[in-house]
Amino acid sequence: MSILSFTQALFRPSVPVLCYHQVRPDSGMSPEKFGTHLDIIRKIGFDTISLLDLYEIIQEKKSITSPSVVLTFDDCTLDNWIYAIPELQKRNMKGVFFAITDDIMDGSARKRSDQTASPLEIPPTPHIMSRALQGDKYFFMNRSEIFATVHELGMEVYSHTAAHQACYLDMIPTGQLSDQAHWSHRALSGYDAPPSTPTFPIGSAYAHNGWGKSWTGEKLQINSPDLRKQFCIKDFLQSKKTLEEILDKPCPFLCLPWGQGDNITLEAAQEAGFLGVLNLRYNAVCGKTDPFSIGRLSVSSRRKKIWLLTKLLLLAHSTSARTINRLRWRRP
């Protein structure tokens, strides 16, 4: 019996849920580095399980019989298909992918890195998002790739909302449009806005009563709780419907953009028919966890291997997971 299994026998186990984004060469999270993460997970005795398995654990329909982890990937950018999935496949490991459904286009499946010696070069996420807001969605996984991920490769794809919409949070300027690096500012201000246009703090339109323009150029109608809830329900239903049409199976899970949400967001998700919601506020995930508050740990490309190892071991036990959650989110 491993040390991890022994301690799990003494303390109530929980399941770490990790959040990745891009996996691509010439980045902080290269396929090689991602592969070392997967090797660490396997070496210390963790199994990768599906989100459906985790949901059954939460519902106490299944128990945690061995150390387990859920690997999730936000946005479904093309590098997930070309580079991340082959690394998972090499090790017979599972992954859960969250798609921005407005960015899913038709098309045939492109060759992955395990199918060609010259895979496509993928730009960084800000460039992909900026291009998508102007109609070029080439660097997101398409319908064929999403279908194959689920029905041919045995992985999971769920909702990351339809629009992944941001908003301005208040009326206190933080700079000018020409100074802002974040991809959302130009769309929120309007593509015809001059460089001298003031910009403001940004956040998730699903979590804040804010203002600005939608990605399609219309005025955002989310400046009250009721209007925001209506916006959330409409977006969530659209995203859920799109994935169910592509995959011909239910879409029970929603991942919140930027991990942000409040009671209004969660009420809207429940009314839209989701069974569970994932955020970025990591905590113990085990039996009787609120399925609308499944916490994840964001894995930054800057983190060292020892950080990943330590976090996995701590989050694999409900007591230590809750302790580091309280320390992480404690307010003075």
Whether 200 contacts 170, CB under 8 Å: yes
What is the spatial distance between Cα 76 and Cα 16, in angstroms, rounded to a whole number?
Answer: 21
Residue 126 sits in a domain of what CATH number? 3.20.20.370
Q: How many CA atoms lie within 13 A of 108 on its CB side?
A: 1
Does residue 128 lie within any of the structural domains? yes
Range of the domain at 296: 3-164+224-329
Q: pLDDT tens track of the chain, all 332 residues?
A: 555 555 544 468 999 999 999 999 989 999 999 999 999 999 999 999 999 999 999 999 999 999 999 999 999 999 999 999 999 999 999 999 999 999 999 999 999 999 999 999 999 999 999 999 999 999 999 999 999 999 999 999 999 999 999 999 999 999 999 877 788 998 999 888 999 999 999 999 999 999 999 999 999 999 999 999 999 999 999 999 999 999 999 999 999 999 999 999 999 999 999 999 999 998 889 999 999 999 999 998 888 899 999 999 999 998 887 776 665 544 43
Does residue 208 lie within any of the structural domains? no
Does residue 190 lie within any of the structural domains? no
Phi, psi of 53 (to 5 degrees): -60, -45
Does residue 193 lie within any of the structural domains? no
Does residue 187 lie within any of the structural domains? no
**Closest to 286 measured CA to CA, from 8, 50, 12:** 12
C-alpha distances out from residue 48 to 31, 41, 91, 144, 319, Å: 18, 8, 10, 25, 21
Which DSSP string do the residues of 201-228 spell out, in sequence order? -EEETTTS--BSB-TTSPBP--SSHHHH
**Total number of residues shown for the chain:** 332
pLDDT the model gives residue 5 = 54
pLDDT the model gives residue 330 = 44
What is the spatial distance between Cα 172 and Cα 316, in angstroms, rounded to a whole number?
Answer: 42
Does residue 186 lie within any of the structural domains? no
Please state the domain count of the chain.
1
Report the Cα–Cα distance between both ends of the chain, in Å, rounded: 42
Does residue 194 lie within any of the structural domains? no
pLDDT the model gives residue 319 = 85
pLDDT the model gives residue 9 = 47
Does residue 81 lie within any of the structural domains? yes
Q: Which residue has the tokens 């109609």?
A: 135
pLDDT the model gives residue 187 = 93
pLDDT the model gives residue 200 = 95
